[in-house]
Structure 1
Amino acid sequence: QLVAYFVIVWEVPKGAGKIGIINQNTQAGWLPQIGSYKYLLNIIIVALLTFVMYFYLKRSKQGYEIAVVGESERTARYVGINVGKVIVRTMMISGGLCGFAGLLLVGGTDHTITTTIAGGRGFTAVMVAWLAKFNPLVMVLTSLLLVFLSRGASEITTIYGLNHSFGDILTGIILFFIIGSEFFISYRLSFLKQTKKEG
């Protein structure tokens, strides 16, 4: 809602419903571009953040507290962890990372803000985190998998002249079966035979 509000406040020209390229002449607020590679700086920053978050979650006391609270709040309280403090701290870190991702998107590549700038990235991020078992390093590979799926589905719709929504449906079906397979990986089905009672 904040984005929608500021798009209306900053729209150019008034009534256009869009901001356009921000500071196109001065490029103030734009992240520097390395050579002719538009996304290279973003990739480097994301790679560094990935390693930082990996060591934070897997090698630090606070990361251990997050894992314990995520598994069981009652256990966390039993061992003396301040659950409320951990939750608030984690929310602040998550919000900061999301805001920084927005900075990379607006200041690094798009240089504009629209009401659809997120483009379902929040939902995709949840899927990536869950499929990667909350391991930041594995999240990189999972993200690449989803990008390939999305681009491949879009290419199929373009080549065969299909509706644009078909690509999203195809990606959704593939993800559905990937998620469904997690159940059979984590659990084993066993069928119990009923014995007839002797009368």
Structure 2
Amino acid sequence: MSQTATAAREPLLRIAKREGTTMPQKIAVRAIAILLALVVDALFIFFVTGLNPLSVYGVMWSGTFANMTRFSWMLRDLSTLLCVGIALAPAFKMRFWNCGGEGQILIGGLTAALIMVYQGNNLPLPLLFAAMALGSIAAGALWGFIPAWFKSRWNTNETLFTLMMNYVATSIVACMTNIMRGQASSLGTLNKATKAGWFPVIMGQRYTINIIVVIVLTFVMYAYLRFSKQGYEISVVGESENTARYAGINVRRVTVRTMLISGAICGLCGFLIVAGKDQTISTASANGRGFTAIIVAWLAKFNTFYMALISFLLVFLERGASEIASAYSLNEYAADIITGIILFFILGSEFFINYRVIPRGAHKEGK
């Protein structure tokens, strides 16, 4: 057969798995992606909004770094997002697609809020905090245990199951907040007069404890996944359940145990939101963090220190979009497009880290 006929059948582009990508190469690809995103954003800003792109980028920067107050708000939001990412990391590393972070946060936050309201005047403050923390952890763990148990017993689809659990948790929170508010128009701030169950103000902020707890969790989860026997079992199950069984690993037990941990940390995040951030509970308390954290965990390849960097970037973009909308009186959709373009390029860069595109006519591997 002629070379012309062979070339005619060859596709214009081929995609091949990229092997042995080094860390400097990964950093370079992501840096190029961000630069390209900034260029595309600049074109959008100039031709669609008529604004100076450099001025808009300056406003985005000031949304986080204009003063210490804004920077502390960024740390507050970062700690919440990172906490959920840390919670999802072991489940996703095990290839258990836990999309129920929202529900696990809500059910943990609701438990903390109920204890705060109904036991705030009966328990000394240390015991109250302990009860709120343990209650939220137990509630979140339960919300993670249910889909894990069904998965391990009957091989149910964990993605659909955990998503449905979100709706159940949202409905429970909506029902209980209506009961708690009674005749009032809204639930409002809990224990506003006594501040029972509120974290103390440390270094000028009430959410300082949130940041400290998440920093500790970052180191603990990294060590757990990297150096512990249970972390090794999670990795093996994630690679191949058959291999794990051949190695003598109880896959059912690992599945349930890992989801208990994942749900427990999400429940703890609910406690931190109620006690250290909002001092109330509502169906919007999770604020979509359970889904955004999936991006954080996946992009970081379950490394909690990389998660901190990605969480910072996402929170920075979110706050920057809000600042742009406020400063230039843009609608929220235009501001979200600007940040969405950056996120799209960052996500797209993962393709070029893991795969390479081979044009027609290029030599095949090994030739």
Fold shared, TM-score > 0.5 on shorter chain = yes
1:153 aligns with 2:315: no
Partner of 1:101: 269
Report the alpha carbon displacement of residue 27 of structure 1 after superposing the two structures with TM.
Answer: 1.4
Contact 1:7 1:19 in 2 (8 A): yes
Relative to structure 1, the CA distance from residue 170 to residue 87 in structure 2 (aligned partners, 3 Å threshold; closer, same or farther) is farther
Report the alpha carbon displacement of residue 33 of structure 1 after superposing the two structures with TM.
Answer: 2.2
Report the alpha carbon displacement of residue 12 of structure 1 after superposing the two structures with TM.
Answer: 5.0
Partner of 1:142: 310
The one-letter code sitting in structure 1 at the alignment partner of 2:306 is: V
Q: For each residue in 1:62-106, what CA deviation from the matched residue of structure 2 results, as whole angstroms up to 9, or x when unmatched?
A: 011111212222222221211111111111111110010010011
Give secondary structure in 2 for the equivalent of 1:190. strand
Partner of 1:42: 210
Give secondary structure in 1 for the equivalent of 2:356. coil
The one-letter code sitting in structure 2 at the alignment partner of 1:34 is: I
Greater helix share, structure number: 2
Give secondary structure in 2 for the equivalent of 1:123. helix
Structure 2 spans left out of the alignment, 5+ residues: 1-170, 363-367
The one-letter code sitting in structure 2 at the alignment partner of 1:141 is: L
The structure 2 residue matched to 1:10, chosen from 163, 180, 186, is 180
Partner of 1:197: none
Inter-partner Cα distance in structure 2 for 1:149 and 1:104? 23
Relative to structure 1, the CA distance from residue 172 to residue 76 in structure 2 (aligned partners, 3 Å threshold; closer, same or farther) is farther
Inter-partner Cα distance in structure 1 for 2:221 and 2:280? 28
The equivalences for 1:1-199 within 5 A come to 1-11=171-181, 13-14=183-184, 16=185, 18-193=186-361
Contact 2:198 2:279 in 1 (8 A): yes
Report the alpha carbon displacement of residue 149 of structure 1 after superposing the two structures with TM.
Answer: 0.9
TM-score (norm 1): 0.90
Aligned-residue sequence identity (percent) comes to 58
Contact 2:222 2:304 in 1 (8 A): yes
Relative to structure 1, the CA distance from residue 80 to residue 167 in structure 2 (aligned partners, 3 Å threshold; closer, same or farther) is farther
Inter-partner Cα distance in structure 2 for 1:26 and 1:47? 29
> What is the CA RMSD across the aligned residues, in angstroms?
1.7
Give secondary structure in 2 for the equivalent of 1:188. strand
Give secondary structure in 1 for the equivalent of 2:337. helix
Inter-partner Cα distance in structure 2 for 1:170 and 1:5? 37
Inter-partner Cα distance in structure 1 for 2:268 and 2:200? 16
Report the alpha carbon displacement of residue 116 of structure 1 after superposing the two structures with TM.
Answer: 0.8
The one-letter code sitting in structure 1 at the alignment partner of 2:280 is: T
- Write out the 4+ residue segments of structure 1 that deviate beyond 4 Å after TM superposition: none
Contact 1:10 1:19 in 2 (8 A): yes
Contact 1:57 1:64 in 2 (8 A): yes
Larger CA deviation: 161-170 vs 87-96: 161-170
Q: For each residue in 1:24-81, what CA deviation from the matched residue of structure 2 results, as whole angstroms up to 9, or x when unmatched?
A: 1111222222142222111111101111111111110001111121222222222121
Inter-partner Cα distance in structure 2 for 1:145 and 1:36? 25
Contact 2:224 2:230 in 1 (8 A): yes
Inter-partner Cα distance in structure 2 for 1:40 and 1:20? 22
Q: For each residue in 1:103-158, what CA deviation from the matched residue of structure 2 results, as whole angstroms up to 9, or x when unmatched?
A: 00111121011111111101111111111111111111111111111111211122
The one-letter code sitting in structure 2 at the alignment partner of 1:142 is: I
The one-letter code sitting in structure 2 at the alignment partner of 1:5 is: C
Inter-partner Cα distance in structure 1 for 2:346 and 2:279? 35
Larger CA deviation: 170-179 vs 40-49: 170-179
Contact 1:153 1:167 in 2 (8 A): yes
